[in-house]
Amino acid sequence: MDPVLIGEILAALMFVGVIGVLMLGFPVAFSLAGTAILFGLVGWWLGVYDPSNYGSLAGRYIGLMTNEVLVAVPLFVFMGVMLERSGIAEQLLLTMGKLFGNLRGGLALSVIVVGALLAASTGVVGATVVTMGLISLPAMLRAGYDPKLATGVICASGTLGQIIPPSTVLIFMGDMLSGINAQVQMEKGNFAPEPVSVGALFAGAIIPGLLLVSLYAIFVIVKAWLDPKSAPATPVPETEKASLWREVVVALIPPLLLIIAVLGSILAGIATPTEAASVGSVGALLLSLLRGKLTLGILRQAVISTATITSMVFIILFGAAVFSIVFRMMGGDNLVHEFLSSMPGGAVGAIIIVMLVMFLLGFILDTFEIIFIVIPITAPVLLALDVNPIWLGVMVGVNLQTSFLTPPFGFALFYLRGVAPSRITTGMIYKGVVPFVILQIVALITLFFFPQLITWLPGVLY
């Protein structure tokens, strides 16, 4: 049999095999690397893989560890953890609940607003869902909210951190797309391509993030109007009205200043994402200090949590590097190129297939696992078909946010299930997120047909 064909068959089987191993419950990083090494041995035995290719891993690992852009990841994680520990999220939720309390659906609207603010100041999805689930869900249930609406709005708002900057997903995606785009453009004869920066990806994600927030808010307003019992008003007692605006200022100004300092400095070109992340980390420490929450115990917890999350993400990235080398060297990239290039509709057909595969993988894999596996394999083909890299990165982010919400395996659903009271059934959570999944799909379709919503702001700023 033709060695090229054997290699492509092994590459396809390796992709299926790693999904099977992950479904058995093995750790992701070791599943990626272990499956790749196993198939590499089979390929070596069949004469279609040279194990000396593993020698390039050392250089790749050193490159990842010395990558200045990726230093922003632990800094943004630390910032998010410190803000969570400082009680800013709790104060925001309680204050916004009072501010919107006189409106039907006001508590739900406050959750959406706080979800967007926390996404723009932390970018840590799991912590946001859990925090809002612990604080807002009991309050909404006491106020007489439909449990399905309450759980749906909390899950949807909590996942905004996937797409609203400073999303750690966008940092990794921007770094990968930058290298891939440069390589693709050089192969096409363009030796001075426009750079793809993390800042440009952040700028591209702002309008889609605001679009999702608007869609969520419109849905809640319409739902409260059509079914008032599902989202009743919770008027603020007269005794608390006098001090309400002072509470709003105290709760809202600190995170807004932090957002302006971090995102504003990136978008204005004053600071790189890494420099802005360091400013954000110092800002989170100062906010904790001003609130009297900065203790040695809290700082220790934040550092340990940051180290744990960062180690998890990077060990997955290292495992994905092993997988990528074996897959490519056995001809998997050629197989993917031929498959996507032959899709009816050209680039449009290829994009639809890639988005569908990512959406389905979101049922069983975490966001980082998906981008580390799928982006290096598919992005070179899509960019070679003249797909805009900024548009592609943001579309992938919104798509993965959608799969993060979709029953029965959406990770956000499990985060909320872990902190929801026992009278909230899993079925209620599933039914509650369905309207928001539909809104996510509406946003995806809108961004597909109107790419300017993504590309306009980066074009203006960069």
- pLDDT at 292 (0 to 100): 82
- pTM, to two decimals: 0.87
**297 vs 212, higher pLDDT:** 212
**Domain assignment present for 7:** no
Q: Is it the case that residue 28 has pLDDT exceeding 80?
A: no
- pLDDT at 390 (0 to 100): 94
**Domain assignment present for 17:** no
Reported for 358-361, long-range contacts at CB under 8 A and 24+ positions apart, including other chains, are: 358/396, 358/399, 358/400, 358/403, 359/399, 359/400, 359/402, 359/403, 359/406, 360/403, 361/19, 361/403
Note the pLDDT tens digit of each residue in 147-161.
999 999 999 988 888
**Domain assignment present for 61:** no
For 241, the 3-state DSSP assignment is helix
Note the pLDDT tens digit of each residue in 267-323.
888 888 889 889 889 988 998 888 888 888 888 988 998 888 888 888 888 888 888
- pLDDT at 1 (0 to 100): 65
Domain limits for position 375: 68-310+322-461
**Domain assignment present for 121:** yes
Contacts for 46 with CB less than 8 Å, ≥ 6 apart: 3, 6, 10
Within 143-270, where are the H helices?
147-158, 168-187, 198-226, 238-241, 244-259, 265-267
User: Which uninterrupted H or E stretch holds 397?
Assistant: helix 389-405
Token pair belonging to 137:
């869900």
Residue among 142, 114, 98 at smallest CA distance from 241: 98
**Domain assignment present for 44:** no
**Domain assignment present for 413:** yes
Reported for 13-16, long-range contacts at CB under 8 A and 24+ positions apart, including other chains, are: 13/39, 14/39, 14/323, 14/326, 14/327, 14/330, 14/332, 15/327, 15/332
Note the pLDDT tens digit of each residue in 376-423.
889 998 998 889 999 999 999 999 888 878 877 677 787 788 778 888
Tell me how many domains the chain contains: 1
**Domain assignment present for 10:** no
**Domain assignment present for 37:** no
- pLDDT at 395 (0 to 100): 94
**345 vs 428, higher pLDDT:** 428
- pLDDT at 439 (0 to 100): 95
Alpha carbon separation from 266 to 199, 213, 245, 353 (Å, rounded): 6, 22, 31, 33
